[in-house]
Every structure is written in C-alpha cells, then in structure tokens.
Amino acid sequence: MRHAVNTPADKVNLLDFDRKGLRDFFAELGEKPYRAEQVMKWIYHRLESDFENMTDVGKALREKLSASCYVGPPKTAFEKTAIDGTQKWLLGMDGGNAIETVYIPEPTRGTLCVSSQVGCALNCQFCSTATQGFSRNLSTAEIIGQVWVAAKHLGNVPHQQRRITNVVMMGMGEPLLNFDNVVKAMSLMRDDLGFGLAGKRVTLSTAGLVPMIDKLSVESDVSLAVSLHAANDELRTELVPLNKRYPLAELAAACERYINRAPRTSITFEYTLMKGINDKPEHARQLIKFMRRLPGVNKVNLIPFNPFPGTRFERSGPDEIRSFQTQLLNAGVLTMLRRTRGDDIDAACGQLKGQVVDRTRRQAEFRKKLEEGVVNAA
C-alpha cells in the first residue's frame, strides 16, 4: 500500500487506520489486538509519533514497528495566528500540494475546520477553493493528521484538556466525494482511543450530494451542515452548480431521511450572504418556505461573505444582514449569525493557498464523472 504523507518509502502510515484497521494490521504483525489499542492511545492521547518514546510498549514490538511503519502527520509549511486568536495552518502534501486547517477559539468551545480534498471540483461560484480546481482526495492519514497537527500545536489532551471540542469537515473540498477516507477519519475523531469527540461535535458539511447523504446516514451519525446559499432552484444552480443534478426538493427529502435515520444528530443550513445576490426580503421568504418543509430541522447559519481576490461578489451590508436575520427569526427559524473570524489571516476557506495551479483538464474530467454518476458511486 502506498501512503501519501511524508512517507518513508514502503512503510505503512498508522494514521491511515481506524481502530479496526489497526487491530487487523497488528494481527498481521503477529501481535495481540490490545497492543494496537495501546499504541493508538500513544498516538492520539499523547500525540506521540516516535515509537521509541512509547515506554510501555515492549522493546521487541517497538523495533518491529519502526521497521514496518511510522506515524506520519502532514508537515506544517506555514502557520498564522490572527488578532482574534484564530489559527491557520498550511500543511504540505506530496506533489507540492497544500491544504488548510483552521482553528477558531470561542469562550465555550474550540472548533477545528478540516479539509478533505486538495482543491474542489464542485465550482461553487463564491468559493475561493473552487478557483484552484480539483487535484486529489486526501488520505485518511492526511485528514486525521490535520487534527493531530492542530492538537499538538494547541496542547490538546483528549478527555483532559480539550482545546479542540468540535471538528467541522468544512475546509477545502467536498467531503462526501472522498467518502471512505472521510468516514474513517471521522471515526478516529469520535473513537475514545482517538480524539473522543461526541457525534454531534463532528460535523460534515456538504454542497448537497443526495445519494451520499443517504449513504452517510447508514454509516455514521455525525451532524450535517448543508451549504444552501439560496432557496430557489434557479439562483442555487447559479451559485452551487451541483443543484442542477440534485435540486432543492431532492435535497430536502434527503435531509429528512437523514434526520429520521439518525434522530440524535442535527442538520444546519449554511447561507452565505452576498450583496444584492441572495440577501433580499424575497430570498428570506424563500428560505423560510424551504425550512417549513423540514419541521425536524430548524437551524440556519448566516455567514457574511468573506471576499477574496478576483471574486465578483461582495459582502452584504450590516443593514441587509440584520433585516435578513430578523425576517427569519420572526418566522420562527432559529438563525445564528456567524461572526467572520481571522480576517487578518484570510481564514476563509481556500484563502491561504499559494500559487493557483491550472488544473482545468483534471477538473473537467472530474465534473464529467460526476455528471455520469461515476464519482457518487465511489
């Protein structure tokens, strides 16, 4: 098996395994399953990557592990801290690629925003990541490795000193298009021997891949965030082209099925407010009507648009934002206004990227597969 992260050639990266995978790997090495769990605690509770420091693991096993595997989180290429405490890491991947991970501290919680792909193929019109095109999926190690790197920097200790209380799969990429690796990484976020977060504290954000929302409801019970941004099909298709394939009625039905199958989870609709585009009273009315289709789901996050170089969109003004929120609240829709964070370090999705590489051809191929349904079946 080839592993993508900072790989000492031909060795296995243990961050690629969930608990079951690690137990199976240890069985292949002729070791008892409890040994796998012992090592897992070192990796995720004590954030130890050097087998030599795993002092309660016998010398013979430490030598065996050193010969065949490694603990390989992504390398930090760049780190920035904003005045408001928001932290952002640019993490180097193979092939000169880079991804972003953002930590947002608040008085009662600390949220880590994690990427699932290098770039993204879905081409949402207001998204900085979309301008980079799609390069590739991240491995499980590269996804959980983002949490590991942030936890190490922040001095996070699961079950004791939690700096990271929530993880949102809301960074670069569409997580449901990298389903298996994302689900495995989320299971490590949730596992008591991993980062030990409750299901409702891990949120997957999707642009609305209907069949994969159904698949997720069978395989995981994390919270869902749906990037809505418009509640009429014409405008949503313009902003989120995926809407053409999975229009609002299908998306609403999938959300209803999700919440019915996993009633303890929550679904939040994300709505980025862009001046003169989707922030008028009629748009609020459409959103209220959409929310009424989903009586079990009653939460909207309003996000003032975070401009980036080259975008044609602008942030809605404070008056428009306030009256949009008031209209929703008056209709009984639970509506939170997300403060923009880390403005001085460009902490919005995709904004710390280096050179924008022309990946047009790969992007076009990927979109074609998506149209044909090939990618959804992955």
Any catalytic annotation for residue 255? no
Name 27's Cβ contacts closer than 8 Å, sequence gap at least 6. 33
Q: Which of positions 133-172 make contact with ligand SF4 (CB under 6 A)?
A: 172
The number of C-alpha atoms within 13 Å of 307 and in the hemisphere containing its C-beta is 11
In the set 31, 100, 270, 320, the catalytic residue is 100
| Position 174 contacts ligand SF4 (CB under 6 A) | yes
Range in contact with ligand SF4 (rule: CB under 6 A) among 63-71, 115-123, 218-226, 303-311: 115-123
Residue 116 amino acid letter: S
Query: 3-class DSSP state for residue 358?
Result: coil
| Position 177 contacts ligand SF4 (CB under 6 A) | no
Name 55's Cβ contacts closer than 8 Å, sequence gap at least 6. none
Range in contact with ligand SF4 (rule: CB under 6 A) among 125-133, 189-197, 296-304, 324-332: 125-133
Q: Nearest CA to 126 among 256, 261, 311, 250?
A: 311
CA distance 223 to 169: 10
| Position 127 contacts ligand SF4 (CB under 6 A) | yes
| Position 176 contacts ligand SF4 (CB under 6 A) | no
CB contact at 8 A, 179 and 187: no
Q: Is 174 annotated as a binding residue?
A: yes
The only residue of 129, 135, 217, 243 in contact with ligand SF4, by rule CB under 6 A = 129
CA distance 8 to 90: 21
Range in contact with ligand SF4 (rule: CB under 6 A) among 16-24, 122-130, 352-360, 361-369: 122-130
Any catalytic annotation for residue 100? yes
CB of 225: closest distance to ligand SF4 in angstroms?
11
| Position 120 contacts ligand SF4 (CB under 6 A) | yes
Mark 212-251 with x for binding to ligand SF4 (rule: CB under 6 A) and - for no binding: ---------------x------------------------
CB contact at 8 A, 348 and 314: no
Q: Is 306 annotated as a binding residue?
A: yes
CA distance 102 to 336: 20
The number of C-alpha atoms within 13 Å of 147 and in the hemisphere containing its C-beta is 33
Q: Is 69 annotated as a binding residue?
A: no
CB contact at 8 A, 98 and 92: yes
| Position 346 contacts ligand SF4 (CB under 6 A) | no
Name 39's Cβ contacts closer than 8 Å, sequence gap at least 6. 14, 22, 26, 54, 57, 65
The only residue of 138, 207, 303, 333 in contact with ligand SF4, by rule CB under 6 A = 207
Query: 3-class DSSP state for residue 28?
Result: helix
| Position 122 contacts ligand SF4 (CB under 6 A) | yes
Annotated binding site for [4Fe-4S] cluster: 120, 124, 127
- Catalytic sites, residue numbers: 100, 349
Residues lying near ligand SF4 in the complex (CB under 6 A) are found at: 120, 122-124, 127, 129-130, 172-174, 207, 227, 349
